[in-house]
Structure 1
């Protein structure tokens, strides 16, 4: 991963890193440090795993929704759940089901359910 780039090498601090000198013509359009790699003389864009990112986001949302569901189920078990909380519990369970059934293979174009 290219973490820094500059035309003036004295501006770089390559602690535990390599420094490579390149001609301006070797720098691809849209180059930005952090979004490109350098290997065997070639600068290439970082490949983003959108499915992995979507999976992590789905898991984060599932954790949040499940935590809220657990809190409401405890209130229900204790016999002190309100009618508004019962409605919220049903809604949260629907959201969790939608999250579980999401087709993440379409990432990054995911139609996330409202939370």
Structure 2
């Protein structure tokens, strides 16, 4: 397994052209080092917190500036691995990321805000129909259901994350 840490990027002039290059903390050049990686492994890029931010089987498709790189054997790659922030590299293996309380609250806030946007989008045309006195009974009932849902979202105690009892999305 290859691990290269703390890449920095710089531009160098070669034959009058500025070329981007990255070197790790030992001074190893990224482009020169790519030949050392095996073809059948997953290459991951992870940040200073160990969070996996990019990955590819093709090492040449990665640019590690500001981060680090590790090579992972195929049998050590979790089935549901992604680069959405839920996975980390602990220096030896890929692990499910443990979020801090503040991060869990922020994730809950983002989820709540996204659900509020869905509710608001559903409410707007229903409210328009009511406002112009053209709402059917089904539309009026649906409007009430969506508004109750939005109020429930607004009343959530996000400090309880991840143990939040999320209201069910109206049908």
TM-score bracket, normalised by the shorter chain, equals 0.5 to 0.7
Match of 1:114?
Answer: 168
The residue aligned with 1:35 is 88
Structure 2 unaligned spans of 5+: 4-35, 38-42, 44-58, 71-80
Find the counterpart in structure 2 of residue 52 from structure 1.
106
Q: How many residues align?
A: 93
User: Which is bigger in relative contact order (C-alpha 8 A, separation at least 6)?
Assistant: 1
Displacement of 1:15: 3.8
Name the structure where strand makes up a greater proportion of residues. Answer: 2
For residue 148 of structure 2, what is the aligned residue in structure 1? 94
Deviations for 1:37-67, whole angstroms, at most 9, x for unmatched residues?
67xxxxxx85521100000000000011011
CA RMSD of aligned residues (A): 2.8
Name the one with the larger helix percent. Answer: 1
TM-score by length of 2: 0.46
Structure 1 stretches lacking a partner, 5+ long? 1-6, 21-31, 39-44
Instruction: Establish whether residue 75 from structure 1 lines up as the match of residue 129 from structure 2.
Output: yes
